[in-house]
Structure 1
Amino acid sequence: MCKGLATLPATCLKSAKDIKHKISFLLQKPEPQSVDQKQVKEKASTAASAAAAAAAAAKRVPNAAEVEKWKESFSHVMSSNTGRTVFTSFLKSEFSEENMDFWTACEDYRKTAPSKLATRAKQIYQQYVEADAPKEVNLDAVTRDETRQNMENACPSCFDEAQKMIYTLMEKDSYRRFLKSKVVQDLCQSQTRTTHDKKEKKSCDENRQALARGA
């Protein structure tokens, strides 16, 4: 130790060492691996929350009025969160859920910030529209080409025609089978049993009340 430091009091030397230690600690940077792990955990947590919300929606049993509305028109199915969930489950059984996925992607696309429209449009086009896309939807050549041209100047309406065509396809084709499907029949039967049980319970309650008054 140099002479100058040796003449300093012990308390001063200890304080100097403490300050040096704190500065060294602050200068340390987190390991990239730790940051990556944190991001992975955050993404996993977000995905788990989304999955839980979807599961909760799927478990909600629609009431009789909702099911009757679905039978009236396809628009009632699509305007209902539960209706879309049940209908999507039916599409999955027919291996055609890409139609609903594309329709939903188009709905979300219109809410995209202007600065991100071009990037998101390209993602949707590559995922659903272009030939041999991973989840290619059934579009005619004219609509497919028109959508491709719209990509050159991405705007909120560039998928409108393609989305309308897929909506019509689901309405004219899948929806008709959906109404005759086991899932809708089971829901109708379930609602019928629930209504019958409620009527029976009400009748029993009225009988008990009548007997109590007679006694």
Structure 2
Amino acid sequence: MCKGLECLSVTCLERAKVLKSLFGNLLHRPDLSIMGHSHKSEKTRVNMDEPTKWRESFDNLLSSQHGQCSFRAFLVSEFSEENLGFYLACEEYRDTKESKLSVKAKKIYDKFICCDAPREVNLDHETRSITKTNLEHPTPSCFDLAQEKIYTLMEKDCYPRYLKSPSYLELTRQVRAG
């Protein structure tokens, strides 16, 4: 069991390993090569226009599997990957069968929203309260307000920083050089 700063450094090391894994794979694996030199199917490679499209809108970034991977790696480096995790969990939740809504909603709430949640997202008290009330009778839209708040937070705060980050700038530089 770790204590104090020792625990913090272990967590930082774990996050650094995740970041290296996520972003390193995007740039260096032949099957994910941004330059397109691969014998794998087209679906596994980053299209050369993709990083440029990510700059056009946050929706373009999130609609791209490789964009999500790159953005998640950036969020890991900023210690805020829970935001994307929550957003994606809500997207998946909307497609949940009605019979499983209650169980899945509770898992999302316990993981991301309740006080002291392991991956707690930054929500105001009112949104947190409304979401908790929504869970009394779960529907596919019970997380919509909370998801919208987190989306806006990422779009207005994290996304602009991502576009200025060394990782994104290197990715676009490689595309231009290719």
User: Which TM bucket (shorter chain)?
Assistant: 0.7 to 0.9
Identity %: 49
* Greater gyration radius: 1
**Native 8 Å contact 1:64 1:188 kept in 2:** no
- More helix by proportion, 1 or 2? 1
* Gap regions ≥5 residues in structure 2: 1-21, 35-45
Matches within 5 A, 1:41-190: 58=26, 59=29, 60=32, 61=34, 62-190=46-174
TM-aligned CA deviation for residue 174 of structure 1? 0.5
TM-aligned CA deviation for residue 193 of structure 1? 1.6
TM-aligned CA deviation for residue 113 of structure 1? 1.1
TM-aligned CA deviation for residue 64 of structure 1? 3.6
Q: Distance in 2 between matches of 1:192 and 1:113?
A: 44
Q: Kindly report the root-mean-square deviation, in angstroms, between the aligned alpha carbons of the 2 structures.
A: 1.8
TM-aligned CA deviation for residue 192 of structure 1? 1.9
TM-aligned CA deviation for residue 66 of structure 1? 1.0
Matched residue type, 1:146: I
Q: Secondary structure in 1 aligned to 2:134?
A: helix
| Higher RCO (CA < 8 A, seq sep 6+) | 2
* Gap regions ≥5 residues in structure 1: 1-53, 195-215
Paired residue total = 141
> What do the CA deviations read for 1:139-185 (whole angstroms, capped 9, x no partner)?
01110000000010011000001001000000000001000001111
Equivalent residue, structure 2, for 1:44: none
Q: Distance in 2 between matches of 1:177 and 1:64?
A: 22
TM-aligned CA deviation for residue 131 of structure 1? 1.1
Equivalent residue, structure 2, for 1:43: none
